[in-house]
Amino acid sequence: MSRPFPVSIIRAAGPGSLPEPDNWSCLPLPSTSEIWRTTATPEHGAGDVLALLRAMVTALDGNPSPAHPLVFRVGTLGADAHRLLAQIMGEGEVSARVVSSRGTRAHAGALVRIQECRYPGIWRIIVDSANGVRIDDRIEIGAIPAAILYEARHSGTTQGTIPDTSSHKLTSAPSIASEIAAAQARAVSRRGAGSHVINFSLLPVTPADVAWLDNMLGAGTVSIFSTGYCKCTVIATTWRHVWRVRYFDGSNKVLLDTLNIALIPEMVIAAAEDLMDSLRHLREIVKWLEED
């Protein structure tokens, strides 16, 4: 799948471009040298990848804002096709880990590893059972992967319990806990619609307050990581629709510490414009493969 270099080679000015003086001498140059070469695009498997990409373009073109992710299984692709697909798709800013709470025997406790491709809204997803057996290998196209959406809708308690505070030296935690409970009740009644943010960075909270609230909320089944403008972690709690969202600088210092009460925090959701941009890139890749 190699192509001629598109830029013509011309003789440039500089060392070697003019005759050398008669008395010029130097140490002998090495007869061989190491040079960097780009990775050759695998010839085998290109047809399978092209067929997959065409199917993705057709599906997204017909449903540009899918309510449910478009799914494409890639587990049966050969090794060469997998390598080519990995080269084309690359890795984007968002990754996630989900411990499935689905009730089916195959998926209960399964580990779902999610990596956004370099094209927003296109996700590579690998699912392994609780004992390490590969269950699925697929690509999804949509605002958010199905596994995250399922957990957001079904996992966690719908009515969190506020523990007794009498034995703790707390400042703001009790009032914040009441605010969380009220916001969760509204979110549950609206099936996650809307968003309510509690910004610890702007509140008079002590480390003891934050630790007590974290213990009250617990850790849920979804962990999302973003490496965009700054690092961000979005962690589900055991209270449905309540997420722990933190932003970090390059030295891992917390810049912003919040709770987000919503179905899914919007900073990890691919927008419709992102999907349209990714569709344009997919069309360009298909054209490139067809011409080669």
List pLDDT tens digits, range 232-244. Answer: 999 999 999 999 9
Q: What are phi and psi of 52, to 5 degrees?
A: -65, -45
Mean pLDDT of 109-124: 96
Residue 61 shares a structural domain with residue 84: yes
Sole residue written with tokens 């506020």? 162
Contacts (Cβ under 8 Å, ≥6 apart) of 110: 99, 100, 102, 127, 128, 129, 130, 135
Residue 263 shares a structural domain with residue 234: yes
Residue 22 belongs to some domain of the structure: no
- DSSP for 108-146 reads TT-EEEEEE-SSTTEEEEEEE-TTS-EEEEEEEESSS-H
Residue 8 belongs to some domain of the structure: no
Residue 159 shares a structural domain with residue 263: yes
Q: What is the pLDDT of residue 39?
A: 42
| Beta bridge partner(s), residue 196 | 261
Residue 201 shares a structural domain with residue 244: yes
Residue 1 belongs to some domain of the structure: no
Q: Mean pLDDT lowest for which of 104-108, 200-204, 278-282? A: 104-108
Residue 36 belongs to some domain of the structure: no
What's the chain's average pLDDT? 86
- Tell me which H or E stretch contains 286: helix 272-291
* pLDDT over threshold 80, residue 13: no
Q: What is the pLDDT of residue 250?
A: 85
Residue 176 shares a structural domain with residue 263: yes
Residue 199 belongs to some domain of the structure: yes
CA 122 to chain centre: 9
Task: Please tell me the distance from the alpha carbon of residue 155 to that of residue 151, in angstroms, as a whole number.
Answer: 5
Q: Yes or no: say if 97 and 114 are a contact pair by the CB < 8 Å rule.
A: yes
Around Cβ 135, how many Cβ atoms within 10 Å? 15
Residue 198 shares a structural domain with residue 126: no
Residue 162 shares a structural domain with residue 259: yes
Q: What is the pLDDT of residue 251?
A: 87
Q: What is the pLDDT of residue 102?
A: 78
* pLDDT over threshold 70, residue 252: yes
Quote the domain boundaries for residue 101: 46-143+270-291
Question: Which CATH number do you get for residue 184?
Answer: 3.30.1370.140
| 258, 261, 266, 272: CA torsion to nearest 10 | -170
Q: What is the pLDDT of residue 38?
A: 37
Residue 116 shares a structural domain with residue 183: no
Mean pLDDT of 107-119: 91
Residue 174 shares a structural domain with residue 264: yes
Q: What is the pLDDT of residue 18?
A: 42
Residue 52 belongs to some domain of the structure: yes
Residue 85 shares a structural domain with residue 230: no
Q: What is the pLDDT of residue 108?
A: 74
Task: Please tell me the distance from the alpha carbon of residue 237 to that of residue 243, in angstroms, as a whole number.
Answer: 6
Number of domains in the chain: 2
Q: What angle do CA 219, 223, 229 make, to 5 degrees?
A: 130
Around Cβ 180, how many Cβ atoms within 10 Å? 22
Residue 127 belongs to some domain of the structure: yes
**pLDDT tens per residue, range 185-231:** 999 999 999 999 999 999 999 999 999 999 999 999 999 999 877 89
Mean pLDDT of 272-286: 95
Confidence band (pLDDT; 50, 70, 90) for 167? confident
Straight-line distance from the first to the last Cα atom of the chain, in angstroms, rounded to the nearest whole number: 6
Task: Give the tokens for residue 223.
Answer: 């962990």
Residue 166 shares a structural domain with residue 126: no
Statement: the pTM of the whole predicted model exceeds 0.75: yes
| Beta bridge partner(s), residue 233 | 225, 246
Residue 254 shares a structural domain with residue 276: no
Q: What is the pLDDT of residue 106?
A: 59
Task: Give the tokens for residue 26.
Answer: 């130097």
Mean pLDDT of 98-125: 88
Residue 228 belongs to some domain of the structure: yes
